Amino acid sequence: MEYQQIAVLAYLTGMMIIDFFILWLLFRSHNASRKAVLFISSIFLYMSTEATDIGYILFYHGSILVEIFTIFISSIPILLSLKVKDKGYWRDDMISSTLLTVTLVLDEVSMGYAYSSAFGPHLNPIVSSVSNPAFGVMMMADAIFFLALNKVKFDVKELALFTFASSMAFMPNVFLAFDKNVWLVSSVFSSLIMIINIITLYLIEIRRASFNAQLLSISLAGLDFFMMLGLSLFVIGDGLMMISLAMIGAMAFYFMLIFHKFSDRKIRIGAGTSLLFVSLINLAELTMGFGESVLGFVVTNSIFSPRHMNSMSSMRSPHNNPLWWMFPLNPLSMINMAEKSANMLHDPLFSIFWASYMLIMTTTMMPFYILMMGGEMLFLVYERYKHAKSSEVRRWALMIIIAMPVFVWLLPYYTNFYIFGMSGMIFPVTVIGFILSMVIMSTASILFGRRAFCNTICMSAHMWTNAYYDKFKAKKNSNFWQYFRWIPFGLMMIFFSWWILGEVGVLRFLRLGMSTLNPLDLFGMFTLNYVWWFFFFMTPVFGTYSCARQGWCGYGTFMGIFNKVLFKVKPNDVKLCETCKEITCEKACPSKITIRDDILKKGFMNRISCIGCADCVEACEYNNLMIQDIRGYIADKKKLK
């Protein structure tokens, strides 16, 4: 290491210490005003321009005369402080907060530029400034400093800000000068921190209905998305500009959220606000799943199976890659192949549809994405479990937590059994595996009702039966859906029959270019990984469990037929239902079933669309409802004995 590089490290270390000391004094003071901020901004600018000049002059052989111009620019805030009038406490003043944010961002970006000038990478100045370890160290130091500086009791908002800044510190471009395996480790670690950040944003949405809380949760969700979009563009070879700009913008907004005291007034959270938050969160998760899956596939196979990467289509990971189970497929290669196949038809609209379908399907079917989403949603299911009033709801929330890793990940991904919409991506479903799966699921649905699948095994259970999404229940329903549901059901039976006949050699499967269209996978994955995801994005508009209420999931309708065997929602006393005026059971029902009408007509409710979530049982003000399944029949027989 040369003396110039040592000098740069010493200068940057000194800058960080001075920055934190000044900020500590500023936050400690309760009467600092706009004048103080202008003065401090000049100090930050002096240090930042000096760092930039050091990198430019020492390592790019620039003219020393640039110092005259930068010193003049840096002096402007301190000159303005001589004339400006104070506007009260600086954190209540938007101009002061914005000015301090801008100058501190310039300060830290310039430190990154000085480091990259000395040690590399020598790329575009913007990219170089954030694509180096110094920037990561600064972001981690910022996260720890502002967390420690907080005088208020530690809460979920502080954790959200801390994890947001920490995730930036480990983005893969920060370690651009290192080997690709370091990129993967740092990127996965960054994503794990971001998953925690997303959970905290959900908790803020659940617990706080203030302007400040909504601004924080929506803005951080949007910035998470743009950073993950930058990651995805980076791994497909589209450069580092997007991820660099996203990180600079994220850093600026992070400082702004800390510096300015935004209003904490209570606000009404409408469907539009919720839709924006849900969309940004899901876009962040999709881009994260895609970026990490592609990066993981490329890096792990280049390390463990370099010949495979060079000689084959780079579509599947061989089993000599010890991480094949996490990164079994390359979503990018699958999308490219699907696009080529669709282009053979010379239909632009179909090509766009097929590319979008493959993008969403391949991303949402990747194990990394499933585990990421599973971790987030199971925490929210646990929150639902903690606050549930009914033992029936708690029992089934616990069942969802237990069932998720088995039925949404292990069985569909690493066996030949069939879980609707989830199986067939890694190991093909066999006829025997399919038949056994259908027999087992049908038997479970006979014994426990449709909830054996829809409210336990299907991913809709942990995505919708949780503490956040549970509030988006539909307000009304239409009789149209009671008839419409048989169309998807009929299509499912056709595709299932087609697949079985194809497997035994009676029929042939269709081909699209180089791809063979497996009817079983096509229908299941299209339903669960394309249609379902559209409705999940639009949950604040269409409500939860639209799949059951509107009947567009044929498999759910099939399982719902078994509600007619043993499953019932029954009252302890029918007369209480007659006199009930609030009818809270129907308001709580995500499928919008006319529960009271059914009970008054036949003494129970066992509609095909009932998913057995037990929300009606919990909502009943008289504690008058119960769910009857095989357990109830066994208990009744014991009583008779």
DSSP string, 585-639: HHHH-TT---HHHHHHHHSSB--TT-----HHHHH-TT--EEEESHHHHHHHHHH
Q: For residue 317, give both structure tokens.
A: 């990971």
Q: What is the mean pLDDT of the segment spanning 71-75?
A: 90
Helices of type H across 260-409: 271-304, 306-311, 331-343, 348-364, 367-387, 391-403
Place of tokens 């379908």: 357
Cα separation, 23 vs 112, in Å, equals 19
Q: For residue 61, give both structure tokens.
A: 């052989």
Q: So what's the pLDDT on residue 133?
A: 95
Confidence at 312, pLDDT banded by 50, 70, 90:
very low
Share of the chain above pLDDT 70, in %: 98
Q: So what's the pLDDT on residue 153?
A: 66
Cα separation, 543 vs 545, in Å, equals 7
pLDDT tens by residue, 150-166: 766 668 999 999 999 99
Q: So what's the pLDDT on residue 15?
A: 94
Cα separation, 290 vs 269, in Å, equals 31
pLDDT tens by residue, 413-443: 999 999 999 999 899 999 999 999 999 999 9
Residues 6+ apart with CB under 8 A from 116: 55, 122, 123, 128, 129, 131, 132, 134
- Closest Cα to residue 230, out of 218, 245, 252, 249? 245
Helical (H) or strand (E) element with 584: helix 584-588
Q: How is 106-156 classified by DSSP, letter by letter?
A: HHHHHHHHHHHHHHS--S-HHHHHHSSHHHHHHHHHHHHHHHHH--SPP-H
Q: So what's the pLDDT on residue 392?
A: 87
Cα separation, 349 vs 344, in Å, equals 13
Cα separation, 531 vs 421, in Å, equals 11
Confidence at 81, pLDDT banded by 50, 70, 90:
confident
pLDDT tens by residue, 124-140: 999 999 999 999 999 99
DSSP state of 318: -
How much of the chain is in helix, strand and coil states, percent to nearest 5? 70, 5, 25
Q: So what's the pLDDT on residue 620?
A: 96
641 pLDDT higher than 80: no
Burial of 86 (0-12, 13-18, 19+ CB in 10 A): middle
Q: So what's the pLDDT on residue 205?
A: 94
Output phi, psi for 104, to 5 deg: -70, -35
Cα separation values, 498 from 251, 354, 528, Å: 54, 21, 19
Q: So what's the pLDDT on residue 310?
A: 56
308 pLDDT higher than 70: no
Mutual angle of helices 133-149 and 94-119, in 10-degree steps: 150
Cα separation, 44 vs 50, in Å, equals 10
**In angstroms, how far is CA 132 from the centroid of its own chain?**
26
Output phi, psi for 608, to 5 deg: -60, -35
**What top-level class would CATH report for the domain 566-640?**
alpha beta
Q: What is the mean pLDDT of the segment spanning 458-466?
A: 87
491 pLDDT higher than 60: yes
3-class secondary structure, 511: strand
- Closest Cα to residue 422, out of 470, 463, 478? 463
- Closest Cα to residue 319, out of 290, 310, 372, 327? 327
Task: Give the type of residue at 346.
Answer: H
**What is the residue-averaged pLDDT of the chain?**
92
Cα separation, 515 vs 622, in Å, equals 58
3-class secondary structure, 329: strand
HSE, CB side, 13 Å, CA atoms: give it for residue 459: 28
Confidence at 311, pLDDT banded by 50, 70, 90:
very low
pLDDT tens by residue, 336-358: 888 888 888 888 889 889 988 99
Higher pLDDT, 1 or 524: 524
Task: Give the type of residue at 586.
Answer: E
Q: What is the pTM of this model?
A: 0.94
Listed by start position, the domains of the chain span 3-178+227-264, 371-559, 566-640
Q: For residue 516, give both structure tokens.
A: 């063979």
